Amino acid sequence: MLRIMNVLFLCTGNSARSIFAQASLQRWGLGKFNAYSAGSMPKGRVHPLAAELLERNNYDTSLFRSKSWEEFSVKEAPALDFVFTVCDRAANEVCPIWPGQPMTAHWGINDPDQPDLSVDQQRQLMKKAYMELDHRIRIFTALPIEKLEKLSLQKHLDDIGKALPTDYTDK
């Protein structure tokens, strides 16, 4: 029996994209992965439109909160197996030293939090971000991680960061 692996998703504000990734991995990686999310400058709340989308997709949004990545750099934090940045800004920031020497990859997603747009336009951006991350998470959870050599696994992780769904119609 394989041990459950710990995955941290990082974004600057930890209010939408990293929350979407955490939610999707909790769903598709159940029994294989523990999913976490955090931000370098957390907004302190899950974006209301992100919460709305998650609720529409049958997630319990009470489980999600916006938090600092510092929570995962302390000695008591879970040892991480993977750390994925999901926004370009977080990918370019100097990250803390993560317990467990995790594998890392950048899965950049455009920021759906665009207050200058209408609520309907923002909803569409939230949906697109969620669908892209959900697609990548499904690919990730299907990888035979325990059978891949580290270099091969790293290539798969990097390639997943470029994967896009072909259909944005449901959800």
User: In this predicted structure, what is the pLDDT of residue 93?
Assistant: 62
User: In this predicted structure, what is the pLDDT of residue 46?
Assistant: 96
Rounded distance, CA 108 to CA 87, Å? 5
Domain locations in the chain as residue ranges: 5-160
| Amino acid type, 96 | P
Of all helices (H) and strands (E), which one includes residue 5? Answer: strand 5-11
Q: Residues 129, 112: contact at Cβ < 8 Å?
A: yes
Q: Residues 80, 6: contact at Cβ < 8 Å?
A: yes
pLDDT in tens, 44-70: 999 999 999 999 999 999 989 999 999
Statement: residue 2 has pLDDT above 80: no
Rounded distance, CA 130 to CA 112, Å? 9
Statement: residue 151 has pLDDT above 90: no
Q: What is the pLDDT of the chain when averaged over all its residues?
A: 90
Catalytic residues: 11, 87, 95
User: In this predicted structure, what is the pLDDT of residue 166?
Assistant: 77
Q: What order do you get walking across the sheet with 103-106 strand by strand?
A: 33-39, 5-11, 82-85, 103-106
CATH fold of 5-160: Rossmann fold (3.40.50)
pLDDT in tens, 75-114: 888 999 999 999 876 556 666 777 778 999 999 999 999 8
